[in-house]
Amino acid sequence: MWSGKAPREVSRWLTLFRLSAFMSRKLLKFDVEYLHGPSLRLLYDEIFAREEYLFETSTPQPVIFDCGANIGMATPFFKWLYPESRVMCVEADPRTLGVLQRNIQQNHLQGVTAHNVALWSEDGTVPLW
């Protein structure tokens, strides 16, 4: 559980414990707006603590597609790992997209774009649940 490859492992786990005790907008160096506290904790656990989105690249400037970006928790993770990366976020839900856009802006994430579209196998519209 403590054998992660991303930097500052202890501070990431301490943040997870703090989120478990009380909700906060401060996650590592990021100020994060969210829609639902328990979901934020799960996203943080999955992305930062368990490193499920961790990948290695030979370039310091990878182009990353964050499909189903939600409120944008993976985006700060990618920018934290690769500050010079370009990240394209895709989020279908307009309300969630608004939170994602505010998280990009208030954290001054450069090289990040957000798009209100859904990815699907054909052109058209898809229902959101």
Separation CA 126–CA 129 (nearest Å): 10
User: What is the set of domains in the chain, with CATH numbers?
Assistant: 9-115 (3.40.50.150)
Residues 51-77: tens digit of each pLDDT: 889 999 999 999 999 999 999 989 988
**CA-CA-CA-CA dihedral for 76, 36, 91, 74, to nearest 10:** 20
Q: Report the pLDDT value the prediction gives residue 115, as an integer from 0 to 100.
A: 97
Closest CA to 74 of 105, 51, 101: 51
**Backbone dihedral angles phi then psi of residue 65, each to the nearest 5 degrees:** -105, 115
Q: State the CB neighbour count (10 A cutoff) for residue 88.
A: 16
Q: pTM of the full predicted structure?
A: 0.77
